[in-house]
Amino acid sequence: MLQPPPAEPGMMEEEVDTPALLLDLDAFEANLDAMAALLAPTGAKLRAHAKTHKSAVIARLQLARGAIGQCVQKVGEAEALAWGGVPDILVSNQVVGAAKLARLAALSGIAQVAVCADDAGQVAEIAAAAEAAGVRLPVLVEIDCGASRCGVEPGPAAVALAERIAASPHLRFGGLQSYHGSAQHKRSPGEREAAIAHAAEVTRRTVEQLRQRGLDCPVVGGGGTGTFALEAASGVYTEIQAGSYAFMDADYARNDVPPPFRQSLFVLATVMSRAVPGVAVVDAGHKAVAVDSGLPLVHGRPGLRFASASDEHGKLLVEDGAAPALGEKLRLVPGHCDPTVDRYDWYVGVRKGRVECLWPIAARGLMA
């Protein structure tokens, strides 16, 4: 059920009801500008990942600052963006099952939609859905460039799958998907460089082998917030798929040499108990803020440490002299931005302490 917004434009931040998802608009806009400036001198364009923000509003702001489209992970996300006016969407993922594929093919009527595949049987299923809908779907071959999650082997296996796609009258070979997920949070820059050097090299060789078989590779997609500068500089990747850069989180900030973006996303929480000495409890437990990549940090309050999260309680340890007042509102920096966003219906956009806008998170919680 869609919850009513926790605030109204013009309110002060302290008046926002909690727990709420705050977006610091100055920091957010600075992040969009920083990414545009960093990619401008490279050959790569931004196809920002909507798995992070799940919102057509944010997608359109990214497009207005030069992004060429959006990535999504799920058909439900693609629907939310297409219905919200986003014209160019890549499902950077495998979509399996006739019902989902029929929905995806139907979307082709209102937006340019592409999808990934790493299996010949799957290519046949996508072709059947495209034929039934009377559309021609672009399909990218996903290669395993080092993370061992999805993707066929780079080289001949990828070329064989691309040839199958190209041979179908209902499909078009769209290029290669080459995303190295586990490289994003490798702590040292050297480890990230080594992982992406390998990914770029196997991808480059695959593009070359495609060319030898007469197949042009119009798109090579990959790169996240931790490594995008490496993919962009490689000369191999044409599209960068970073998502978290717009918001950032405590886990990305723990990388040695963290990504060059500001924290713009916060969970606003209220101090609801001060009964135990040395402890303050806020109304944001792990139902309000994701803890899969570590506990949140208390923003701007060095004497307060978020020590544990239960369903509805966040327990803070308080250093001498740092105690917050009962009812005080605190900004928490989520450990992981994507699943935190998924818990909320609304972004509360704030600028200089005042609520400016409320944006719906249309694709939140979509399981399909």
Summarize as ranges the residues that interact with ligand PLP (CB under 6 A). Answer: 49, 51-52, 71, 92, 179, 181, 184, 224-225, 241-245
Q: Pick between residue 118 and residue 338 the one whose CB is nearest to Mn ion.
A: 338
- DSSP letter string over 264-321? -EEEEEEEEE--STTEEEES--TTTS--TT---EETT-TTEEEEEE-SS-EEEEE-TT
Distance between CA atoms of residues 74 and 93, nearest Å: 7
State the minimum distance, in angstroms, from the CB of residue 259 to ligand PLP.
8
State the minimum distance, in angstroms, from the CB of residue 174 to ligand PLP.
14
Residue 92 near which of Mn ion, ligand PLP, none (CB within 5-8 Å, type-dependent): ligand PLP
Q: Pick between residue 222 and residue 296 the one whose CB is nearest to ligand PLP.
A: 222
Distance between CA atoms of residues 94 and 92, nearest Å: 7
Distance between CA atoms of residues 307 and 100, nearest Å: 41
State the minimum distance, in angstroms, from the CB of residue 254 to Mn ion.
13
Q: Pick between residue 63 and residue 242 the one whose CB is nearest to ligand PLP.
A: 242
Residue 237 near which of ligand PLP, Mn ion, none (CB within 5-8 Å, type-dependent): none
Residue 225 near which of Mn ion, ligand PLP, none (CB within 5-8 Å, type-dependent): ligand PLP
Q: Cα dist. 328→259, 282, 283, 306 in Å?
A: 31, 9, 11, 15
State the minimum distance, in angstroms, from the CB of residue 324 to ligand PLP.
31
Residue 255 near which of ligand PLP, Mn ion, none (CB within 5-8 Å, type-dependent): none
- Give me the phi and psi of 225, to 5 degrees please: -60, -30
Q: Pick between residue 154 and residue 224 the one whose CB is nearest to ligand PLP.
A: 224
Residue 173 near which of ligand PLP, Mn ion, none (CB within 5-8 Å, type-dependent): none
Tokens at 348, concatenated: 């509360």
State the minimum distance, in angstroms, from the CB of residue 338 to Mn ion.
4
Tokens at 23, concatenated: 């977006």
State the minimum distance, in angstroms, from the CB of residue 183 to Mn ion.
13
Other Cβ atoms less than 10 A from the Cβ of 87: the count is: 14
Q: Pick between residue 139 and residue 282 the one whose CB is nearest to ligand PLP.
A: 139
- Give me the phi and psi of 338, to 5 degrees please: -60, -55
Which residues contribute to the site for Mn ion (CB under 5 A)?
338
- Identify the residue whose tokens are 């500008």: 33
State the minimum distance, in angstroms, from the CB of residue 359 to Mn ion.
20
Residue 175 near which of ligand PLP, Mn ion, none (CB within 5-8 Å, type-dependent): none
Tokens at 180, concatenated: 């190295």
Q: Pick between residue 49 and residue 54 the one whose CB is nearest to ligand PLP.
A: 49
Q: Pick between residue 77 and residue 338 the one whose CB is nearest to Mn ion.
A: 338
State the minimum distance, in angstroms, from the CB of residue 272 to ligand PLP.
31
Strand (E) positions, 194-256? Answer: 220-222, 239-240
The backbone region for 112, taken as left when phi is positive above 0, alpha when psi lies in -120 to 50, beta otherwise, is: beta
| Whether the Cβ atoms of residue 67 and residue 88 lie closer than 8 Å to each other | no
Q: Pick between residue 111 and residue 140 the one whose CB is nearest to ligand PLP.
A: 140
> Could you give the 3-state DSSP secondary structure of residue 328?
coil
Residue 181 near which of ligand PLP, Mn ion, none (CB within 5-8 Å, type-dependent): ligand PLP
